[in-house]
Amino acid sequence: MRVEVDGVPVLSADGASVLDAVRAVGVGVPTLCHDDRLTPAGSCRTCLVRVGGHVVAACVTPAADGMEIEVATDELRALRRDAVEVIVSALPPRALTAPARDAWPGQGAERGLESEMGGGELARVCDEMGITSEAARGAGGRGRDDTHPYIRLDRDLCIACGRCVRMCAEVQGTFALTLTGRGADTVVAPGTGGSWAESDCVACGGCVTTCPTGALSEPGLQPGAPFSDPLTARSASPPVSTRTRTTCGYCGVGCSLDVLTRDGAITAVLPDRDGPVNRGHACVKGRFAHGFVRSPDRLTRPLLRRGGRLEPVSWPEALDHVARGLRAAVAEGGPDAVAAISSARATNEENYLVQKFMRVVIGTNNVDNCSRLCHAPSAAGLIASFGLAGGTDCFDDVEKADCLLLVGANPVEAHPVVGARLLQRVLRGTRLIAADPRAVGLARYADVHLRPRPGTNVALFHGLAHVLLAEGLADEEFLRLRAAGLPELTGLLAEYPPDRVAALTGVPAADLVEAARLYGRAERPAIVYGLGVTEHLHGTDGVRALANLAILRGAVGTDRGYGVNPLRGQNNVQGASDMGALPDSLPGYGKVTDPAATARAAEVWGVPVPTRPGLRIPEMFEAARAGRLGALWIVGEDVCATDPDATRVAEALDACPLVVCQELFLSETARRADVVLPAASWLEKDGTFVNFDRRFQRVRPALPIPGEAGTDFAAVHAVAAALGVDLGCVTPADALAECARVAPMFAGLSHARLDREGAIPWPCPDPGRPGEATLYRECFATPDGRARLAACPFLPPGETPDEDYPLILVTGRRWAHYNSGSMTRRTANLQLDAEDRLDLHPSDADRYRVRDGEPVVVESRHGRATLAARLTDEAAPGQVFCAFHFPSSQVNTVTSGHADTETSCPEYKVTAVRLKLLHK
């Protein structure tokens, strides 16, 4: 469509607004109620232009072919100035003080940051229009709300533009804010009517970034919020001196962030407006929970155990002790007497170097990572079904689905940015089937909410598949041309009619049929799942049975759906496995038993590669307890807090002659180590992460590393040097380049290319071609090129309720914390969530005579934990839920040692327990 702006022709896309056309010619107009991420409101009337003889608000007026738009006339300028002056007149004089006007002096890239940090937009507009502080004649006195640790509200500076309210509703989906009052007294407020800290706010920071006046600001960032109280402002100087784009080091979403620093300290962390997944959004952890980097208990020197105590020592002394211990272990028990647990928090390059060290320097495949504890069944199941160990589609495509099957996941809390995006699709009409024992997050918005008994996933998925076949909802052509195993599956599914599945799972047969029809009749269905599928005794079977549904529908590798996609837990749990930190796989998932894969690695590394699969994490602990393991190197994992049956884990560490731990803090695991090496955080590292939908993204250091701490990359090099071995790969860029030679699927990747192009998904075998965001378009990566249907029967979980232990415990995450909480508990997130809680249904609370907030003891056959009771109908009767963010609660002493029969992934989601009141 062609329009004219002040006589200048503009080509505009269908659906463009007049504001889009005006901006296209480089003409600026004020937009104090407008944010491109939000639905236009047209309430501030500051973007006035003339169209067809009428004065209109540009932001809410659609552009039309042949339209003539006037912007730059004196009359229109006067109208826009009048609109701004009316807004300013209600503000107190301090709103346009000199410091506020000078806070953004226009220093190159820093100019315009007010649109990202919030607060400076109105000041800039007034400055451009020549409006001075004399125009601000408001009396003020409406008060402040400083109760929240991350968000400050100055009501006197609120202009009731509604941007924060729309941000909370349209982007975050929390609906925590509203506008209250009438006329000039209208102001933003928490929807609950109380203080901000007591509201439903999840501290994503979106309201702060969109606020044009500084009514909403971030504490300690006052120069970036120029309307904040001058008494608390640090200075009027520019708020940042350095801006570093990196990738978040919390969950596996992979949000792109801009870290703003000055004098070696963080002044703000902002979501990247162009971030491929987060698109200018963030969660409380990525946006605000960075204070841990300067925590006073940060480890900054190596520690060595002497006389039963850990004491600070020099790096040479610590490395000498490690080298002597490794040599002694190999001398006594051979290379397989040494094992390493690499880290899902570490970069790809660090994980690559750890596994290379174990295979090249030690000569063993005893290396694993925490995907063993969460998504090892995903890798095994997806490889068996489709051929590759990652989700089938990119999230951008998943978001286009007309029907979502969300299974065993609560992304609203565990992956908030993904949860927010999915919620917006559901609110706009996407059908949602949620399968989760708890009524949380997106399940509250589901068209059908299936609540299976924990441990019955396979039966549930077979019941859905039964209906798909029985009602002719399967894609027969796809099954004939691109799938294998249908006769075997058909025979098995005859045993899973809806009534029997209802008896096995507790899901009403009618709900099962309705869900199957929704998924089966959708034009573009997608499956998204989480740890509620994998962390079971038969987790791999669960992944394969879930994959059956996509195969039956022909919804993978085609235009008829968006496959099967796991939500990864930690920031680089996908990448740690991609890099070969696995006992049976080399970088790129080449098997250690495959001569071609080992020959390729041996050619690059210059030494033979061991061909016997190594120990998995649970087997490492078992070997340590049995006296067969002489040294265990743990990189960035607090296994004593996060691994199941934690008492037995501690016994393993105590039995191992040498335990080396690399950590940020003196974790429960580090306390039991013989050598502790101080590590760098994700904000201090150079390298890459791989997110949940297989995108490689750059990680860049924004801060100096404190004291004598070092990156995991440097520590591995140092230990190798202490053993007299040069690992090569001097820089992280070198390591990724070498990995690209070992693993063909990464051959097209490099730091230089990622710096130029941004995120790139794997497989990416060619540096001249894009990576494959959507897999299996031509064929599946199985030996015969077909997807494999799995006829795996339902088998019961490892534990079931009985007279002694009548409840089932499920563990998971809360929104304010992450994993063992080692980072988030050292930030103001602790004010948002101060303890681990046990969710239980009111009927169970009555049975046990437990009151809300009362401390209770949770006992299993393995251990006991003390938690505060939280009465809620989110939990089903007979089931309780808790997180393990606070090691002091000892939740993982309660969880069992049962594990997936194929991958050894622990059964965190099913533990039989009983309750006792603490005082009894």
Least confident piece of the model among 168-182, 215-229, 541-555, 848-862: 215-229
Terminal alpha carbon distance of the chain: 76
Distance CA 694, CA 276 (A): 12
pTM of the model: 0.93
Q: What number of residues does the chain have?
A: 920
The set of residues, in sequence order, having a beta carbon less than 8 Å from that of 309 and lying 6+ positions away, is: none
How far is residue 12 CA from its own chain's centroid? 36
Q: Give the phi and the psi of residue 698 in degrees, each rounded to 5.
A: -75, 145
For residues 630-655, give the mean pLDDT. Answer: 93
Sheet holding 152-154, edge to edge: 144-145, 152-154, 216-217
Q: Which two tokens stand for residue 169?
A: 């509703």
| pLDDT at residue 118, rounded to an integer | 55
| pLDDT at residue 220, rounded to an integer | 64
Distance CA 33, CA 30 (A): 9
CA atoms within 13 A on the CB side of 840: 32
Task: Check pLDDT > 70 for residue 117.
Answer: no
Please write the tens of the pLDDT for every residue from 45-63.
999 999 988 999 999 999 9
Q: Residue with structure tokens 């909480």? A: 821
Distance CA 766, CA 753 (A): 11
| pLDDT at residue 7, rounded to an integer | 87
For residues 607-620, give the mean pLDDT. Answer: 96
pLDDT band, residue 208 (cuts 50/70/90): very high
Percent share of the chain, pLDDT over 90: 82
Sheet holding 658-663, edge to edge: 309-312, 303-306, 675-678, 658-663, 631-635, 338-341, 367-368
Strands 658-663 and 631-635: parallel
Sheet holding 760-761, edge to edge: 687-690, 695-699, 760-761
Task: Check pLDDT > 90 for residue 564.
Answer: yes
pLDDT band, residue 108 (cuts 50/70/90): very low
pLDDT band, residue 238 (cuts 50/70/90): very low
| pLDDT at residue 627, rounded to an integer | 96
CB 615 within 8 A of CB 631: no
Helix ranges restricted to H, 556-697: 573-578, 595-605, 617-625, 639-642, 646-655, 668-671
CB 568 within 8 A of CB 578: no
The set of residues, in sequence order, having a beta carbon less than 8 Å from that of 795 and lying 6+ positions away, is: 458, 537, 538, 541
Task: Check pLDDT > 60 for residue 105.
Answer: no
Task: Check pLDDT > 90 for residue 533.
Answer: yes
Q: Which two tokens stand for residue 334?
A: 């051979």
Distance CA 508, CA 496 (A): 14
Please write the tens of the pLDDT for every residue from 721-751.
999 999 999 999 999 999 999 999 999 999 9
- Mean of the per-residue pLDDT values for the chain? 92
Strand, coil or helix: 449 = strand
CB 156 within 8 A of CB 142: yes
For residues 351-370, give the mean pLDDT. Answer: 97
Indicate the residue type of 688: T
**DSSP characters over 692-727:** TTSEEEEE---SPPPTT-B-HHHHHHHHHHHTT---
Distance CA 511, CA 217 (A): 46
Distance CA 414, CA 570 (A): 10
Adjacent-strand bridge partners of 54: 51
Q: E strands, 64-186, where?
A: 68-70, 144-145, 152-154, 177-180
Q: 705: how many CB neighbours lie within 10 A of its CB?
A: 19
Please write the tens of the pLDDT for every residue from 650-704.
999 999 999 999 999 999 999 999 999 999 999 999 999 999 999 999 999 999 9
pLDDT band, residue 920 (cuts 50/70/90): low
Q: Give the phi and the psi of residue 253 in degrees, each rounded to 5.
A: -65, -40
For residues 228-256, give the mean pLDDT. Answer: 67
For residues 559-582, give the mean pLDDT. Answer: 94
Strands 855-859 and 144-145: unpaired
| pLDDT at residue 467, rounded to an integer | 98
Does residue 701 have a cis bond before it (omega within 30 degrees)? no
CB 351 within 8 A of CB 579: yes
* Secondary element (H or E) of residue 285: helix 284-288
Q: Residue with structure tokens 């040069």? A: 726
pLDDT band, residue 120 (cuts 50/70/90): confident
Q: Residue with structure tokens 């690399």? A: 662
Q: E strands, 411-534, where?
A: 431-435, 448-450, 483-484, 525-529
Strand, coil or helix: 199 = coil
